[in-house]
């Protein structure tokens, strides 16, 4: 982070100097409109803040000070942060480390307390996420949008699978990551298969959801495969659990013995 605050450089006229980096300029100078000359404070977003080490985190102490926000200059002086500047950070943990995110670091509580507000972002409700998925994968929505699974829409069925997995994660009965990024990865894989068949004028297999689910299954530890299969088997046409050869089973009437 020190590189985006200040860099130590050599100037042909001034000799060795400290040059302000992108973050230092954003914090102290803001954005100047080229047409009106108006100076506007930035909204600075720091991603994955819980990946910073203690030394990097210390840069935030003065920046987030509740009385006088400043940045530390390498020469020992401080520069004031432009009034109105806001700093927002994202993280996968709450600053106390995480067993699921091994690179998440324990952060100094006094630095975290300087953030005025904290929000926990939960996964989207499928009513909202389903619409986002349709917009992100228009070809999949157009080709499969009219497909019915047990008199329900194709994406309703996908939603059943998503909700089942996330419910199991929330109750700690299965350990895996299945956020929006993972759902998009699954849909991207499925869309490529659907387009393959569609462009060649071939019938799209009824097992398309089952086959593409291998994309999700392959992303979890092998010890979780059976548990994951049991979770989603009833929601996917044909199931995902291999039933073996069932050709010997007839459909005759049950006999009252």
Of 54, 53, 46, 56, nearest to 115 (Cα)?
46
Stated as kind and residue range, the H or E segment containing 32 is strand 31-32
DSSP type of residue 102: T
Token digits of residue 134: 């349709």
Determine the pLDDT at residue 108: 87
User: Could you tell me the pTM of the whole model?
Assistant: 0.72
How far apart CA 44 and CA 163 sit, in angstroms, is 34
pLDDT tens-digit profile of 86-137?
999 999 888 777 767 778 788 888 888 999 999 988 889 999 999 999 999 9
How far apart CA 179 and CA 173 sit, in angstroms, is 16
Token digits of residue 90: 């994202």
Q: How far apart are the two ends of the chain, measured CA to CA in Å?
A: 78
Residues 6+ apart with CB under 8 A from 117: none
pLDDT tens-digit profile of 176-186?
889 999 999 99
- State the average pLDDT over residues 40-68: 90
């Amino acid at each position: 982070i020190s590189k985006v605050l200040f860099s130590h450089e050599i100037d042909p006229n001034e000799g060795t100097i400290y040059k302000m980096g992108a973050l230092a300029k954003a914090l102290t100078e803001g954005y100047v409109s080229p047409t009106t000359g108006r100076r506007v404070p930035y909204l600075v977003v720091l991603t994955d803040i819980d990946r910073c080490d203690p030394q990097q985190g210390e840069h935030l102490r003065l920046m987030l000070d509740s009385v006088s926000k400043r940045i530390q200059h390498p020469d020992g002086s401080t520069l004031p942060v432009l009034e109105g500047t806001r700093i927002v950070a994202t993280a996968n943990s709450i600053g106390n480390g995480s067993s699921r995110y091994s690179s998440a670091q324990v952060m100094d509580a006094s630095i975290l307390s300087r953030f005025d507000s904290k929000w926990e972002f939960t996964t989207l409700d499928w009513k909202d996420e389903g619409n986002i998925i349709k917009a992100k994968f228009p070809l999949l929505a157009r080709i499969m949008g009219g497909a019915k699974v047990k008199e329900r829409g194709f994406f309703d069925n996908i939603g059943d699978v998503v909700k089942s997995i996330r419910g199991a994660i929330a109750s700690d009965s299965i350990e895996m990551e299945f956020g929006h990024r993972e759902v998009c990865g699954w849909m991207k894989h499925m869309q490529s298969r659907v387009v393959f068949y569609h462009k060649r004028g071939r019938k799209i297999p009824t097992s398309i959801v089952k086959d593409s689910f291998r994309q999700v299954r392959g992303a979890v530890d092998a010890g979780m495969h059976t548990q994951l299969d049991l979770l989603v088997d009833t929601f996917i046409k044909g199931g995902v659990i291999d039933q073996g050869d069932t050709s010997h089973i007839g459909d005759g009437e049950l006999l009252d013995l």
